[in-house]
Amino acid sequence: MAVTQETPATSGPRAKTPTTATGSTRRVRRRGEATMGAAMVAPAVLLLIFFFFIPVGLCFALAFTNARLISPEPAKIIGFENFTRLFSDPLFWKSLRNTFYFAVVVVPLQSGFALLLALLVNTKIRGVNFFRTLYFVPVVTSIVVVSILWKFMYQPDGLINNLLQTATFNVVQGTDWLNNPTAAMPAIMFMSIWQAVGFHMVIWLSGLQTIPGELYEASELDGAGKWQQFRYVTWPGLKATRTFILVTITIAALSLFAQINVMTQGGPLDRTSTVVFQAVRVGYGQQETAYASTISLVFFVLVLMVSLVQRYLTRERG
Which residue, 182 or 209, is less far from other proteins as judged by CB? 209
Which residue, 94 or 198, is less far from other proteins as judged by CB? 198
Residue whose C-alpha is closest to residue 201's, from 127, 137, 126, 105: 137
Residue whose C-alpha is closest to residue 256's, from 279, 274, 231: 274
Which residue, 182 or 308, is less far from other proteins as judged by CB? 308
- Distance, in Å, from the CA atom of 284 to the CA atom of 268, rounded to the nearest integer, reads 21
- Each residue 26-65 as x (binds other proteins by CB under 8 A) or -, in order, gives ----x-xxxxxxx-xx-xxx-xx-xxxxxxx-xx--x---
Site for other proteins, residues 249 to 268, rule: CB under 8 A: 251, 255, 257-258, 261-262
Site for other proteins, residues 138 to 177, rule: CB under 8 A: 138-146, 148-153, 157-159, 162, 166
Site for other proteins, residues 87 to 116, rule: CB under 8 A: none
Query: Of these, 23, 24, 226, 316, which contacts other proteins (CB under 8 A)?
Result: 226
Which residue, 91 or 182, is less far from other proteins as judged by CB? 91
Least distance (Å) between residue 183 CB and other proteins = 18
Q: Give the Å distances, CA to CA, from 111 to 58, 126, 291, 305.
A: 34, 26, 34, 19
Site for other proteins, residues 266 to 295, rule: CB under 8 A: 276, 279-280, 283-284, 289, 292-293
The answer to whether the beta carbons of residues 15 and 37 sit under 8 Å apart is: no
Contacts of 203 (CB under 8 A, 6+ apart): 114, 241, 244, 245, 248
Least distance (Å) between residue 103 CB and other proteins = 14
The answer to whether the beta carbons of residues 117 and 208 sit under 8 Å apart is: no
The answer to whether the beta carbons of residues 223 and 242 sit under 8 Å apart is: no
Q: Any bridge partners for residue 77, and if so which?
A: 65
Identify the DSSP state of 234: I
Least distance (Å) between residue 77 CB and other proteins = 15
Which residue, 101 or 216, is less far from other proteins as judged by CB? 216
Which residue, 88 or 227, is less far from other proteins as judged by CB? 227
Backbone angles phi, psi at 39, to 5 degrees: -65, -40
Least distance (Å) between residue 172 CB and other proteins = 15
